[in-house]
Structure 1
């Protein structure tokens, strides 16, 4: 516990701080975060350490764009339920693991430091791996919205495969998988609106819901063209008042 307090329970002015997330994000603008990397790597790989401490170490290393952090994300995605911290955090709504949402957020936050440290490609690989398990693991709206245009182009085949594979899993999913897949389709709208519409229509044909329909409106906001306009008309026709208001038709 003392080791953890020194690594992530102390700010960079040497003051105790129990807000681990605040300490990690302070490190984004504090070069001295590098001094803590060796200790965090050791904690990450210490099988005797509490699982939540190992997760926190992973999140810090990933947020700080370290190879060890991205490697840990890749390992977790390769065999999700065997990740040492799996089920360490549980979503209150669906009672499912919520650690992958935290990993996705950490990869997103690593953007600037990844450029400075030369680990941008590893960051893309981490996103690719996370997209690859988005048909089975819960991301709590943290994955798709983290994918910028460049990243979407890089991981587009994985998005297509995951959405297609996820269709069969929607009926038995323990969380709102349909909306999660719609969000991935909406990310595609940044580079190809017509393709995004096709993916979203496939999902909605399998598992439509008011929430999924509302999330699908992001495609209309992010792209244009005849397919997108037709999709907007479809959403207006089948959606509820919230959907129509979002599309300016309510």
Structure 2
């Protein structure tokens, strides 16, 4: 049995485990996960190790609130396509890399442990790094998993810059490998947790570039999340550019409050 088998296929009570993600999930509640952290950090840094194993090490460390995991996320975000584990998970819908979408899940899972372990500042840097990738890397609807109100407030400028980079890409007709417009609308919607006018402005910019039905459908969520004159103005915009299905959802959203 290899060292990676011991890390990923043997449970904390010595039982065999087929799915390594089960061990990661168990470690969220089991403090014995800390005994595996040094070996995971070593595996993560080992350039000769299998990319899939290095990714699992990063995922586990990030899920368990470890600074080494967050630092690896920040480093990977510098050049996503060049990181060793890129494309080791492929999204079934768009046939693009799925590793960063899963790391978004790990970021959310590890938030409480990061606070306990004092790695919050490292996690905050990783949050910023991932947000800044949203115009280039697919997140499968998982961006908001780790974007709580505090994270949004700390990253409003990054959110706005990322959305606007994406809008320029869409407006310039750059070929996209996934539904970028909807992902950008979702990122804009996250900003509503602390700045509703900015969220609506960003979503409007996205839809002005590519008013796809799916993006419009996601944008209706902003009508539910916001209030005031900006909300009614945005609802009117969606009703004007959307079809009957969108108008029906907008009407229901306005009636909800």
Question: 2: distance between equivalents of 1:38 and 1:140?
Answer: 31
Q: Give 1:241 deviation, angstroms.
A: 4.8
Other-structure match for 2:104: 104
Structure 1 residue 92, shift from structure 2 partner: 2.0
1:43 aligns with 2:46: no
Out of 203, 206, 223, the residue aligned to residue 206 of structure 2 is: 203
TM-score, with structure 1 as normaliser = 0.95
**Alpha-carbon offset, residue 240 of structure 1:** 3.8
Query: Offset at 1:133?
Result: 1.3
Q: Shift of residue 231 of structure 1?
A: 0.9
TM value normalised by structure 2: 0.92
Shift of 1:144: 3.0
Q: 1:56 corresponds to which residue? A: 56
Displacement after TM superposition at 1:180 (Å)? 0.8
CA contact (8 A) 2:73 2:126 kept: yes
Q: Tell me what 1:66 maps to.
A: 66
Looking at structure 1, the residues matched to 121 and 220 of structure 2 have their Cα atoms a distance apart, in angstroms, of: 31
Q: Show CA shifts across 1:104-147 (max 9, x none).
A: 11111111101100111211110100111111111111113431
Deviation at 1:243, TM superposition (A): 3.2
Q: Which moved more, 1:66-75 or 1:93-102?
A: 93-102
Asked if 2 retains the 8 angstrom alpha-carbon contact of 1:11 and 1:23, the reply is: yes
Counterpart in the other structure of 1:148: 148
Distance 1:2 1:247 in 2: 56
Q: Is the counterpart of residue 178 in structure 1 residue 181 in structure 2?
A: yes
2-side partners of 1:123 and 1:73: how far apart?
A: 9
Where do 5+ consecutive residues of structure 2 fail to align? Answer: none
Q: Do 1:183 and 1:216's aligned partners in 2 also have CA atoms closer than 8 Å?
A: yes
Label 1:187 to 1:227 Cα distance change in 2 as closer, same or farther (>3 A): same
Root-mean-square deviation (Å) = 1.6
Query: Are residues 1:160 and 2:160 paired?
Result: yes
In structure 1, how many angstroms separate the alpha carbons of the residues matched to 2:248 and 2:15? Answer: 48
How many residue pairs match? The answer is 250
